[in-house]
Amino acid sequence: MPALTRFRLFLLGCLLAFASGCTSDNVTGSNPAIPAATSSAQLRPGDTLAVSIQSVPDPAVNSVQIDEQGLISLPFIGNVAAAGATTAELAQRVRETYLSKKIYKLVDVSVTVTERYVYVGGEVTRPGRIIWTPDLTLTKAIQSAGGFTLYAKETKVTLARDQRAYDLNVNLAQRNPAQDVLLMPGDSIQVPRSAF
């Protein structure tokens, strides 16, 4: 067999071995253990709240969203720190602010969470925020975002929680529900583009 033919066969064999390695769905192993969020009861930036002001001449229910600085804005008192507090702590903080600024002499405040979100970006069909529910998992969030694009690297999806990042293999989660990570409000998922 001529040397050129052997070389071509060798190159073809290398190419096939490389291609089969690229198409492997890499479903062995396990995803890392991810600690639960600091507290699901704590409010986070992006949470949408209903702040009810009662027992005053002009009772109202204000729909507000916690901004990136962790603040909400309310009539007459302006910005109030909300992120990191529970709904009860925030209600007390708002009540005390109205009283200390002498806006009202008597006020009842209640705070309820109306919507919480997780964020999905990168190589999904519809990137953006998804309403959080207590049973929302990584695979459900990706499905809610329309699924992966053709270029998604499904074996190295990044989950950001409490300022830490974790690389997850969604193929593992799809084949073994025990590997499907339960999401918390404020989680951010980034699906990278595959090299191939």
DSSP state of 194: P
Q: Is residue 152 part of a domain?
A: yes
- Residue 135 confidence (pLDDT): 93
70 plus 142 within the same structural domain = no
87 plus 136 within the same structural domain = no
pLDDT digits (tens, 9 = 90+) for 106-129: 999 999 999 899 999 999 999 999
127 plus 187 within the same structural domain = yes
- Across 136-150, average pLDDT: 96
128 plus 196 within the same structural domain = yes
User: How many other C-beta atoms can be found within 10 angstroms of the C-beta atom of residue 159?
Assistant: 22
Residues contacting 102, CB < 8 A, separation 6+: none
DSSP state of 146: T
- Residue 24 confidence (pLDDT): 45
Distance CA 80, CA 111 (A): 13
- Residue 147 confidence (pLDDT): 97
Q: Is residue 176 part of a domain?
A: yes
- Across 144-167, average pLDDT: 94
pLDDT at 21 over 70: no
- Residue 25 confidence (pLDDT): 44
User: How many other C-beta atoms can be found within 10 angstroms of the C-beta atom of residue 132?
Assistant: 22
pLDDT digits (tens, 9 = 90+) for 30-65: 888 787 655 567 898 889 999 999 999 989 999 999
- Residue 163 confidence (pLDDT): 83
More confident residue, 2 or 63: 63
Q: Is residue 43 part of a domain?
A: no
Confidence band (pLDDT; 50, 70, 90) for 149? very high
102 plus 157 within the same structural domain = no
- Residue 81 confidence (pLDDT): 97
Domain range for 145 is 116-196
Q: Is residue 9 part of a domain?
A: no
Q: How far is CA 165 from CA 33, 116, 193, in A?
A: 12, 20, 17
- Listed range (73-77, 137-141, 162-166, 169-173) with the worst mean pLDDT: 162-166
pLDDT digits (tens, 9 = 90+) for 82-105: 999 999 999 999 999 999 999 999
